[in-house]
Amino acid sequence: MARHFFLLLALLVAQSSTTKPQESVKHDRTYCNVARSSNLTTLSNGKKYSFIQSYENWNSANETCAEMGLHLATLRDTKDAQVVAAEALKIETGPNWLVSARKSEGDFRWHDGTKLELNSTLWWGRAAKTHDCVYFYNWEAGKLNSYPCFFRFYVICELPTECY
């Protein structure tokens, strides 16, 4: 009896391994469906965001966004930063907000691996740039600063471009 159970289990494992490519395509559609069903705000830059008013550290915030099929917000230019900061100010004036940039191998990188240059105009004038995670001042038009990753800030998640 036990031999039959293990044989059946082996067949199920073998069968599931042959269907993985189909499952991953299904997962991608499901991922975007989950993302689109999140509470999203479309801003004037054409991008969709979710503003989460709970204090989270960077790792927890990253996981929260991923569970919703989103990623931490990416502010590629001054326009994105200003638009997102203006919306954040409508929601809450005091706290700062986490974004997707994080130090990796000595450089700050966005979630997709693109480098956030240290001389970028996105940085706040006196930004330390010595800590590992990045947040922005919503009252300073979205200017970036770095802070230790264990500090807790509000969270902004963004809809991935592949889900539009």
* Mean pLDDT confidence for 132-139: 88
pLDDT above 80: residue 94: no
User: How many CB atoms sit inside 10 A of residue 84's CB?
Assistant: 27
Q: Tens of pLDDT along 107-129?
A: 999 999 999 999 999 999 888 89
Report the C-alpha gap between 106 and 27 in whole angstroms: 33
The least confident of 3-7, 19-23, 158-162 is 19-23
pTM of the model: 0.78
Q: Position of tokens 């979710």?
A: 50
pLDDT on residue 27: 41
pLDDT above 60: residue 9: no
pLDDT above 60: residue 163: yes
Report the C-alpha gap between 15 and 90 in whole angstroms: 52
More confident residue, 4 or 57: 57
* Mean pLDDT confidence for 144-156: 94
For residues 34 and 69, the answer to whether their CB atoms sit within 8 Å is yes
Q: For the chain, what is the mean pLDDT? A: 82
Q: What is the dihedral of CA 30, 97, 132, 120, to 10 degrees?
A: 100
**Which has the closest alpha carbon to 87: 138, 15, 40?**
138
Three-class SS of residue 141?
coil
